[in-house]
A and B are shown apart, each in its own frame.
Chain A
Amino acid sequence: MMCKSALPLIEPYIDGELDASQAAELQRHLDECPACAQSHRRLGALSTDLRALAPRYTAPADLRSRIMQRVSRQALSSKLVAMPRRKAITGWAIAATVLLAVSAGWNAMLLQSQKKAGDAVAQEIVSSHVRSLIGDHLLDVPSTDQHNVKPWFNGRLDYAPDVKDFAAEGFALIGGRVDYLDHRPVAALVYKRHQHVINLFVWPSDAKPVPDAVNGFNLVIWRHAGMEYCAISDLNQTELRQFANLYEH
């Protein structure tokens, strides 16, 4: 092999792009030609240095969840657009008419200023609820036993959610998962009422008032012992409140 034909092969050789016979032929030339061998050493060292020393930047820890939130919201909005027109309008009409203020204990002043933040959280809750129903995202820990579900959250959250089962009352616990809401991991407890899924999100209180119906889904929100609870389902408000009452007492 002549230097003229060897030189263009040096980098593909370093990059592992030569087949075995080409590589062997080039190596023979490098063994005999100090100038090409020097060029090979120089380029090889640069490649080694880059791989070993140049920073490989890694994505911030929460970037994945931020992206998944936005992507699933986009999937959700394209779904709403794709819905039959009348159905979509009904959904929005329900959302528009059932915007009630919840929980009497909340400070009225705070309520106003934090309403916007609460609305954003409600949208996230709806997205998480919808996302949980597609594919197999619903359960990280499928179990009807509260004593399995509760310890599963240990080490996955910095708080311990209260896990209760109401199978006897017709609201059967089917498991739980960790979800993301308002930029933090939260517990999602999952129940079934007939064919309806209820997601109960539990997270430490931050006093953002959340509307109680969005996009046709009903939300029931309450606070207890410094924790925020939000149950969401396509189940009607009355039965969902019945579930909330069971949980609270």
Chain B
Amino acid sequence: MNDSGKLELFEQTIVPHLNAAYNLARWLTRNQHDAEDLVQEAYLRAFRFFDGFQGGDGKAWLLSVVRNTCLTWLGKKGDAVEFNEQVHASASPPADAESAMIRNSKIDSLRDCVEALPVEYREIIIMRELEELSYRQISEAAGIPIGTVMSRLSRGRERLLDCMEAKA
């Protein structure tokens, strides 16, 4: 593939999935600035490896690059596996009546519960429920067998239900 064809094909097949890439990075990093940086890095990587993309599913392929970029970054930061509930709790606003009310809303509970999930469940939940990827696409994007996709999805949901019920 020549350079102009490559850039053009990349713009047609990969760039349109920017919002999906950003959404996943935003949920994995839990903050806007790191998500922006990592999405840019992921796109540069994706372009570098674009020759290896055999056509097929551009969204799943891009998300696999975004996911790997984010997990590498989280690994370097040292919180790839466990999310520190203490740190997260101390970052919450003071429990005055108004903010308590807002935090009690369902949207905030959902967000908090998803953010509190270990990253290996969180990524699968986001890909399934928000990006609406099929099991096969998730399996491609996360590089795990479909059986593992199903079991992680199931455990992630179980944890979410427990978390939501605890907040209710």
Are B18 and A134 interface neighbours, CB within 8 A?
A: no
**Given A54-B110, A59-B18, A135-B7, are A71 and B43 also a contact pair (CB < 8 Å)?**
yes
Q: Which residue of B lies closest to A47 (CB)?
A: B129
Number of interface residues of A (CB under 8 A): 37
Of B19-27, B70-78, B79-87, B90-98, the one with at least 4 CB within 8 A of chain A = B19-27
Residues on B with beta carbons closer than 8 Å to the beta carbon of A72? 7
A151 within 8 A of B: no
B142 within 8 A of A: no
Q: How far is the CB of B139 from chain A (nearest CB, A)?
A: 12
B111-133, CB < 8 A from A: 111, 114, 125, 128-130
Residues on A with beta carbons closer than 8 Å to the beta carbon of B110? 49-50, 53-54
**Given A51-B130, A63-B22, A134-B3, are A57 and B40 also a contact pair (CB < 8 Å)?**
no
Are A71 and B7 interface neighbours, CB within 8 A?
A: yes
Q: Which residue of B lies closest to A57 (CB)?
A: B26
Residues on A with beta carbons closer than 8 Å to the beta carbon of B160? 46, 50
Main SS at interface, chain B:
helix
Which of B35, B47, B130, B153 makes the CB contact (< 8 A) with A75?
B47
Residues on A with beta carbons closer than 8 Å to the beta carbon of B44? 70-71, 74
Q: How far is the CB of A208 from chain B (nearest CB, A)?
A: 23
Are B18 and A71 interface neighbours, CB within 8 A?
A: no
Are A46 and B157 interface neighbours, CB within 8 A?
A: yes
Which of B40, B125, B130, B150 makes the CB contact (< 8 A) with A66?
B40
Q: How far is the CB of B115 from chain A (nearest CB, A)?
A: 10
Residues of B within 8 A of A (CB): 3-8, 10-11, 15, 18-19, 21-23, 26-27, 32, 35-36, 39-40, 43-44, 47-48, 106-107, 110-111, 114, 125, 128-130, 134-135, 150, 153-154, 157, 160-161, 164
Can you add 18 more A-B contacts, CB < 8 Å, to A59-B18, A67-B39, A72-B7? Answer: A11-B153, A15-B135, A47-B129, A54-B107, A55-B107, A56-B19, A57-B23, A59-B22, A63-B18, A63-B22, A63-B36, A63-B39, A67-B18, A67-B40, A67-B43, A74-B47, A131-B7, A136-B8
